[in-house]
Chain A
Amino acid sequence: MPRRRRSLLAALLTLPLALTACGGGEEYVPDPEALQIYSSQHKNVTEAWAEAFTEETGIKTQVRSGQDSSMGHQIVQEGEASPADVFLTENSPAMTVVERAGLLAEIAPETAAQVADHLVPSSGDWVAIAARSTVLVYNPEEIAEAELPDSLMDLADPAWKGRWGGAPGGADFQAIVAGMLADQGEEATGQWLEALQDNAEIYQNNIATMKAVNAGEVPVGVMYHYYWYRDQAGDRSGSGNTQLHYFGNEDPGAFVSLSAGGVLAGSDRAEEAQQFLAYVTSPEGQQVLADSGSMEYAVGTGVASDPALPPLDSLNAPPVDPFTLNSEQVIALMTDAGVL
């Protein structure tokens, strides 16, 4: 064969090895030296925590990103041998899945002491690390404030057909429904979900919902507060035409969801994992969250959330026990209603 072609072939054969080596190949396998953090929290927040923690303690960390429910079930399937040392979620139901499988270690009492009592389940198996509130985003050009629903439950009315949007495929929305289930019971929630299937415009995620409302595709949308505040703090291109409506009044639409952090019982770095969780809930760790621009609520005692947000205790959330939220039942109800 011509010499030129032979050297081309040789180059092709060796290139992938060279590339995976210089493209940081070693970072694609769990580093046995590093604390393994499974996280369905926002990537930038998790990474900010991990970097700050490593800087303070010198302990190496590695983050695997995923989605709430998927990652919770992933850890359950991985079982005792899961590579994960720490699990951080966006919403507590994903953590409850792992807790029910008996895979969580009890968190250190010092860590629990860094947040308010009502932010740790009685089992002591995990701790809240952040919080987010349900809101109704609306486009004042499409709907007057006076016409907004009084309750999230009102959206089941046929009058709202085609006039509201949401992302029921996502864990955020499913957590809101879990709150509704705990507050309103199975029958009311099932009916509401059936109405959702008939009435709602389904979007990929919260951001798509917000942008659809902003573009006037639907007058209102159900989502979490922080997407709106993040966009407002930026160029407002996705939310410039919209306002937020807080249901308050202990309505299911005022549900506040806790993000959770837990240490895996099967962790071979249990001490470092506890250290990490202690850091995340500490005043420094919570300040990292408040400064991250994620616009989630800080939950550590003595740390203020971003000043743009209405205070967490002013939201008048429904009295739902976050530790009994049942995402499995939500999935079953959504499957029955034909949403999933």
Chain B
Amino acid sequence: MPASSRSRGVTTAAALVAALAVLPLVVVGVQASAGGPGTAIDFLFRPRVGELLVHTGQLIAVTVPATIAVGTLAAWLVERTDLPGAGWWRTLLLAPLAVPAFVSAYAWISLAPAMTGFLGAALVTTLAYFPFVFLPVAALLRVLDGTEEEAARSLGLGPLAATRRTVLPRLRPAISGGALLVALHLLAEFGVLEMMRFQTFTTAIMQQYAVGFSDTAGSLLASVLALLCLLVLTVEVVARGHRRVARVGAGAHRGAESVPLGPWKVPALLSLAVLVALALVVPLVMIARWLLVGTEAVAGEDLLRVALTTVGLALLGGLLTTLLALPGAWLLNRGRSALSLVLERVTFVASALPGVVVALALVTLTVRWARPLYQTVGLLVLAYAILFLPRAMVSLRSGLAAAPPELTEAARSLGARGPEAFVRVVLPQAAPSVLTGFVLVALAIGTELTATLLLAPTGAETLALAFWSASSELDYAAAAPYAAVMVALSVPLTLLLRRQILEER
């Protein structure tokens, strides 16, 4: 087969995947405009929607800066100072990622029932999401060359000023990337905010679904939420800036000197300890406490059945997502064209949509036009794939980069045909990264709540659904076993991500 037609096949496949990823956006838009502009204006321009907008804005305005401050400072302490036990702190500061945010909210609300409303919502989301900033900043700080800092010091700047003038600007892409993730998660967050009785667009969409199934009102709210996501994405592109972070030329890499903390050592250790206590110890202790209170709250076989369903869905979803990410990643890897970049961006934008928007769109779509898919495992898994494509894509790209085109060509010249060359040459090289992407997707699916709530087929119950149904009746003891299993299943995520920091070069 000539190379051009092969690459046309891959391009077509990548374009189909991108089309699939934007489908929810199109469906929600069509459904929202179904009532005509009059309905839309009447519904959207009223105090209630203003209130939702203010709530959503408040949360972003407080939580995003808070996670940036906490995440960046913690990363600097761990990677750039003589903090005792830095390796341990690194693991402990990533560990909150193993506790789904809604489990953390459950722990806090059962510890301090009065802690509802904005303060509770901001506290829990900050504690749950600061690792999104910590992770990229720590990874970057670890590899950032120390010479600029030294030059600044030799020119007379103090240690703090040198850090501020040379390190902080170079951290901008990592910080803004982390902040973007936090903002998108906040827009999509449902469980935490519902428990904290703090209403935003996502909780309002869920409520609208409860009232009217897939009606126009729900799609109107979902369109506003999608616009907010696009706004956040645009802001991030601007905030990231175009500054060059990498040094030019290979040269010998030199790590930075670690800054002696001196008298600040004790306060630094204390604040990290408080952070870990709030973000990790509180949830774990509360889960353990409720486990002990209600040892018979959940039958072992129920727990096992629900856990198996969850794992099955996670693996199916991981598999489909990895397969769908393959054409796009391959294209990007074998030459960056304008088309491949557009396809990548489109996939990412669509995947920035909250689970509830994607799910609502798929319900609307299948109930009207694709009935055989309606209420099937297939549709749920497809929603997962749309939501988590970028996770697989990022890992796949780094994996494929490890198997350069020359290797495939060499294999062909030795007589291996296309598929054989792929299986024998590319796959072995790319396998570790493919697996990483697969695991990242599977773990995200394991704790997904909103899309699962809307799309789960008759009879299917996942850990997140079972946890949610118990905890929304404030039956903390019955929710605890499901929470514990979700945390246990998410531990590998933390370990994987920790390795990602350590291996960053």
Contacts and interface: CB of A to CB of B under 8 A. Distances in A.
Contact of B311 (A19, A24, A338): A19
B458 A73 contact: no
B194 interface: yes
B113 interface: yes
Contacts of B311: 19
Most chain A CB inside 10 Å of its own CB: which residue of B213, B215, B305: B213
A74 B213 contact: yes
Contact of A69 (B212, B309, B371, B431): B212
B474 interface: yes
B119 interface: no
Nearest to B116: A217
Contacts of B376: 28-29
Interface in B208-246: 208-215, 217
A15 B431 CA distance: 17
Given A20-B377, A83-B375, A205 B472 contact: yes
Contact-residue size bin, chain B (C-beta under 8 Å from the other chain)? 35 or more
B209 A20 contact: no
B448 to A, nearest CB: 16
B458 A64 contact: yes
Nearest to A168: B207
B457 interface: yes
Contact of A340 (B48, B195, B316): B48
Contact of A28 (B210, B315, B367, B459): B459
Contact of B113 (A83, A174, A215): A215
Interface in B399-446: 427-428, 431, 435, 438
A208 B210 CA distance: 17
B325 to A, nearest CB: 16
Contact of B51 (A13, A77, A338): A338
Given A1-B427, A16-B315, A20-B377, A207 B473 contact: yes
A67 interface: yes
A146 interface: no
A73 B197 contact: no
Interface residues of A, number: 52
Given A77-B368, A83-B375, A203 B197 contact: yes
B46 interface: yes
Given A9-B435, A28-B460, A207-B473, A23 B309 contact: yes
Given A23-B305, A23-B309, A207-B474, A62 B431 contact: no
B197 A23 contact: no
B212 A28 contact: no
Nearest to A170: B210
Nearest to A331: B211
B341 interface: no
Given A16-B312, A16-B315, A338-B46, A70 B213 contact: yes
A28 B462 CA distance: 12
Contacts of A8: 435
Interface in A181-207: 202-205, 207
A338 B204 CA distance: 11
A9 B197 contact: no
Contacts of B474: 207-208, 211, 238
Interface string B354-398: 000000000000011001001111000000000000000000000
Interface string A315-340: 00000000000000001000100111
A27 interface: yes
B252 interface: no
Contacts of B212: 69-70, 73, 331
B113 A62 contact: no
A30 interface: yes
Interface in B16-36: none
B47 interface: yes
Given A30-B375, A78-B367, A205-B472, A9 B207 contact: no
A22 interface: yes
A19 B312 contact: yes
Given A1-B427, A9-B431, A28 B458 contact: yes
A207 B473 CA distance: 6
B329 interface: no
22 contacts: A1-B428, A8-B435, A12-B315, A19-B309, A19-B312, A20-B377, A23-B308, A27-B458, A29-B457, A30-B375, A62-B458, A67-B210, A69-B212, A70-B210, A73-B214, A74-B367, A81-B371, A204-B195, A204-B472, A331-B211, A335-B43, A340-B211
